[in-house]
Amino acid sequence: MTETEKNLIQQAEEVARDQRQLVDADPYRQAFHIMPPVGLLNDPNGWIHWQGRYHMFYQWNPFAVTHGAKFWGHVSSTDLVHWMEEPIALAPSEWYEKNGCYSGSAIDRDGELTLMYTGNVKDDEGNRFSYQCTAVSRDGVHFKKQGPVIDSLPKGYTAHFRDPKVWEEDGVCYMVIGAQTLKEEGRVLLYRSENFRDWSLVGPLIGSQQEPLGDFGYMWECPDVFRLDGQDILIASPQGLASDGTNYLNRFQAGYFPGTLNLSEGIFTPGAFTELDKGFEFYAPQTTESADGRRIMVGWMGVPEQAEDRHPTLEHSWIHCLTLPRELTWVNGKLFQRPVQELEKLRTGNPIRHTGVTRSIAPFELEGIEGRTLEVQLSGVDLQAHDYLDINLHNETVLKLSMMEACDITLERTVIGGDAREQRYGSVDQVAEIRIFLDRSSVEIFINDGELVFSSRHFADPKNQAVTFAGDWLSEPVIEAWKLKD
Ligand code: FRU
């Protein structure tokens, strides 16, 4: 470790120590989500199950609640529920990363936990340089940097060239990298290597001459490619999509293309792009495979440049968190995201169970269903035409379902740092089941076992514990709740 690296890590640890009381005093500090100890967190990085533990790294600025020269923070877990804080994995100490160890991924290489990330550099004139770099660890905790393995830009692309996601297939290593053409079009580039050192560009995976994409944003961040239940999937976070009806309402989007991947030619033939999450905050997700072969995704529960200067947690010297881990499946041409089964371990005590809940236009509470860290599950909902159901969380975030030919779903909350109300929308043919995870300052809602998902930060009055229901329906749903680990 270089002196600069040692110093940076020491400074970050000091800030975390000095600010700890202030951070911990925040009523919006989460109970079971991954958060920064202090400062700003953004993308999940290096997400991997390695030698019996899950490792999650994250983009982290310890020194301010704004974006800056990013570190890689690190937590690990054996069960996806209880996370242990690990020492800082990467600090932006070297010339090839001095303005940030930007996002990247992890892979096992001959028993070493190997990271591939982007070194972000800006010179005095503000020119940007991007280096794709590796770092390795034998114990999964201490990393040795190896410097850049790609130190020049591909022809025809700008220095917005980052976020490598690596994998291995049939003895060959591949990676996809988010990129921007000189004409300012977002792309995903595919690279390959036999030895993880020498990488060659195969080509643009998507938006090539053979497969033009049209106008689809000026930069794509954090790509991820994998095969799910026989279907090839490309995930990316495109920047610059114009809002379109009820779609693309956040500042930037994260979504997926189902498609067909031809690895040897480096061509992905995409189907339609779909947003992964219809809530207010979700960006830059990353997936990995669990020990038993499930594809598990975690996202950043934040969006760049979206109300980042107005979060109430800023007063307590921290901002943002990651989402809960979700298992992805591909069922009948649709991507489903369900909270990983391990999350049942968060439940404390017996379920509170109300059967045959009858309609009431006046909002009502159900005994025992209240609190700030809570899972609520509705089953047998079965709304018929003109039925509706509202679920009001702490008099702040409201989920509204309204059945016409299909079920239109609205999520409404108060603008962060403002008074007005704002909405996000989704729609499914019919709602059978709803699952809600409430932590102290977030809500994640899974409709029909993850057919549709809404993730949002939730800054309700910390004293408000109430969950109320209202609406008009004929079915008699079962409503259950569990108090979660606090
Ligand atoms: C996405 C992103 C990445 C970049 C990182 C920097 O949120 O902009 O493209 O690597 O964050 O923190």
Q: Average pLDDT of the chain?
A: 97
Indicate if the pLDDT at residue 210 is higher than 80. no
Q: How far is the CA of 371 from the centre of ligand 1 (A)?
A: 34
Ligand 1: which atom is nearest the Cα of residue 43? 7
Choice from 103, 121, 158, 235 to test ligand 1 binding pocket (greatest atom count within 8 A of CB): 103
Q: What is the pLDDT of residue 325?
A: 98
Q: What is each CA distance from 71 to 148, 224, 306, 382, 462, in whole angstroms?
A: 17, 21, 21, 47, 31
| Ligand 1 near 163 CB (within 6 A) | yes
Task: Say yes or no: 322 and 440 in one domain.
Answer: no
Indicate if the pLDDT at residue 212 is higher than 80. no
Q: What is the pLDDT of residue 208?
A: 66
Task: Say yes or no: 312 and 379 in one domain.
Answer: no
Indicate if the pLDDT at residue 271 is higher than 80. yes
Q: What is the pLDDT of residue 213?
A: 78
Q: What is the mean pLDDT of residues 298-314?
A: 98
Q: Which of 293, 320, 336 is the last residue of a domain?
A: 336
Q: Which of 301, 320, 336 is the last residue of a domain?
A: 336
Structurally, how many domains does the chain consist of? 2
Q: How far is the CA of 360 from the centre of ligand 1 (A)?
A: 46
Going by pLDDT thresholds of 50, 70 and 90, the confidence category of residue 209 is low
Task: Say yes or no: 332 and 355 in one domain.
Answer: no
| Ligand 1 near 294 CB (within 6 A) | no
Report yes or no for ipTM above 0.95: yes
Q: Which of 336, 357, 390 is the last residue of a domain?
A: 336
Q: What is the mean pLDDT of residues 130-148?
A: 98
Indicate if the pLDDT at residue 218 is higher than 90. yes
Going by pLDDT thresholds of 50, 70 and 90, the confidence category of residue 310 is very high
Active-site residue flag, 439: no
Task: Say yes or no: 349 and 285 in one domain.
Answer: no
Could you list the residue range(s) of the whole structural domain that residue 170 is in? 3-336
128, 160 contact by CB (below 8 A): yes
| For ligand 1, atom 6: residue with the closest CA | 102
Task: Say yes or no: 216 and 317 in one domain.
Answer: yes
| For ligand 1, atom 9: residue with the closest CA | 221
Task: Say yes or no: 357 and 237 in one domain.
Answer: no
Q: What is the mean pLDDT of residues 179-186?
A: 96
Q: What is the pLDDT of residue 215?
A: 84
| Ligand 1 near 132 CB (within 6 A) | no
Q: What is the pLDDT of residue 486?
A: 83
Task: Say yes or no: 302 and 366 in one domain.
Answer: no
Neighbours of 366 (CB within 10 A): 17
Q: How far is the CA of 162 from the centre of ligand 1 (A)?
A: 8
Q: How far is the CA of 43 from the centre of ligand 1 (A)?
A: 7
Task: Say yes or no: 99 and 212 in one domain.
Answer: yes
pLDDT, tens only, 343-365? 999 999 899 999 999 999 999 99
Task: Say yes or no: 101 and 143 in one domain.
Answer: yes
Task: Say yes or no: 322 and 392 in one domain.
Answer: no
Q: What percent of the chain has pLDDT over 90?
A: 97
Q: What is the mean pLDDT of residues 197-222?
A: 87
Q: What is the CATH number of the domain that holds 422?
A: 2.60.120.560
Q: What is the mean pLDDT of residues 282-304?
A: 98
Task: Say yes or no: 136 and 204 in one domain.
Answer: yes
Q: What is the CATH number of the domain that holds 248?
A: 2.115.10.20
| Ligand 1 near 180 CB (within 6 A) | no
Q: What is each CA distance from 435 to 154, 376, 391, 446, in whole angstroms?
A: 45, 6, 12, 5
pLDDT, tens only, 219-239? 999 999 999 999 999 999 999
- The residue annotated as part of the active site, out of 43, 224, 277, 390, is 43
**By mean pLDDT, which of 31-45, 54-68, 259-273, 293-307 is the weakest?**
259-273
Task: Say yes or no: 94 and 180 in one domain.
Answer: yes
| Ligand 1 near 102 CB (within 6 A) | yes
Indicate if the pLDDT at residue 128 is higher than 80. yes
| Ligand 1 near 70 CB (within 6 A) | yes
| Ligand 1 near 61 CB (within 6 A) | no
| For ligand 1, atom 8: residue with the closest CA | 221
